[in-house]
Amino acid sequence: MKERFREEIPKWLRLLGAWRINTDSIDFNWGYFAPRAGLKIVLNRGTYFDQRYAISFCLGWGEFMVYLPFKTKLNGGCDMPQYGFAVHSDTFWIYKGGYYDESLGQVQDRNSSWSWFLPFFSYVFIGHWIKDKNFQWAQVDKRDRKGPYTYEFRKDGAYIEVHPYTYKLKNGTIQNRTATCTIEKREWHRKWFPFLMKKQQVIDIEFNDEVGERSGTWKGGIIGCSYEMLPGDTILTSLLRMEAERKF
């Protein structure tokens, strides 16, 4: 959804209390609605720098968060205690509250939740490979730690191509950068179904200077990223496609 405020919002939504439409939710005076699938019932002992209790729930599709008419005695913070259960990121979660550090405004207790991977939906990571100087796959950062570390291998052992990269800011300024690229792949399999695989092949890119609208600000621009390769792609064709399509 396109971000919109006040008068840009349809009148019928304003009558329901809407004041902002975000890219992934609608904010109301009483909470928010997010049009997504899920399973969740959670009591929030305060929300983001807001001392009001709130209940979040989703019973298949459409997540609601509704403020309740009473407040916690805790000072507001960015990560308040939660109680309930939810399913997200291929994981089942039970939230138990935990120790809330008011000086930091965050839950600090690692035992504030229990979680279990969903066996038929979650993925198990298999490995990470990088094309070496002989254009062969070399496994890096293996779980037994016998393989080379990723950063060191990219610098000394990987097949590398260096290409110019141009990015145009919204104000018309052209950023001319140099992109140092490698070819990498990762593989996963479904938990309990090792024959169901997921593979991803990308170019990994390191720029010689910041890229994007945040360049030169305290937030900082992009200095590195990856971009998915399509069948038949080379490093250069992938980079040119990213140059045409991707916004930072």
Q: Say which residues have a Cβ less than 8 Å from residue 184's Cβ, sequence separation at least 6.
A: 128, 129, 130, 131, 201, 202, 203, 204, 226
Confidence grade of residue 5 (pLDDT, cut at 50, 70, 90): confident
pLDDT in tens, 155-165: 889 999 999 99
Query: Are 100 and 108 contacting, i.e. CB atoms less than 8 angstroms apart?
Result: yes
Average pLDDT, whole number, for the chain?
91
Residue predicted with more confidence, 193 or 61: 61
Runs of H (alpha helix) within the chain: 11-15, 150-156, 235-245
Give me the pLDDT at residue 181, please.
96
How deeply is 244 buried, as exposed, middle or buried, from its count of CB atoms within 10 A (0-12, 13-18, 19+)? exposed
C-alpha to C-alpha distances, 119 to 85, 88, 111, 175, 182, nearest whole angstrom: 17, 13, 22, 46, 33
Average pLDDT over residues 2-17: 87
Average pLDDT over residues 120-136: 90
Confidence grade of residue 192 (pLDDT, cut at 50, 70, 90): confident
Residue 143 has pLDDT above 70, yes or no: no
